[in-house]
Amino acid sequence: MKKRVSCRAIIIENDKVFVIFRRKVKDNAVYEYYALPGGGKEENETLEETVIREIKEEFSIDIKILGYLGKDEKDNTITHFFHCERINGEFKLGGPELKRNNPNNYYEITCVDIKDIYNINTYYPHIIEKAYKREYEKRWYKCLLMKL
């Protein structure tokens, strides 16, 4: 079985990281967490192209990649992480997230102070910390050229 490949961006401005606050209501239970923006790689797309496209769709901004932070591989998925900076635009929810946004499946762009990343319900706080400290993988450029 082929693994789903996705890319996530860590965007930090003024010691705050931009994330998507998520609230899902299912079977009378409420799940709330903070997600890093990004999504799935399309065929014949590089990892760099994926993260740039996904952030444009979700956050309505243009970004520049500052460094590659590594990957997380599970049974069915491979997630790549990039430290990025906004180069143009204002943060505004867009793409499929905007279309699916409703009280039971809620998306909101928000920012969290770096000092609080280990105190919120989010995946990968250690990756956010790596971005803040600019601890990039030494061979990140090779990853950007990969076509999986």
Report pTM: 0.91
**Regarding predicted confidence, which is higher, 122 or 147?**
122
Rounded Cα–Cα distance for residues 86 and 14 (Å): 12
Rounded Cα–Cα distance for residues 147 and 139 (Å): 16
- The Cα-based distances of 74 to 18, 36, 99, 139, 140 in angstroms read 25, 17, 29, 21, 20
C-alpha neighbours within 13 Å on the C-beta side of residue 5: 17
Tens-place pLDDT, residues 10-38: 999 999 999 999 999 999 899 999 999 99
Q: Are 59 and 94 in contact (CB under 8 A)?
A: yes
Q: Are 33 and 117 in contact (CB under 8 A)?
A: no
Amino acid at 134: R
Mean pLDDT of 122-141: 89
**Residue 148: pLDDT over 50:** no
Grade residue 139 by pLDDT with cuts at 50, 70 and 90: low
Amino acid at 72: D
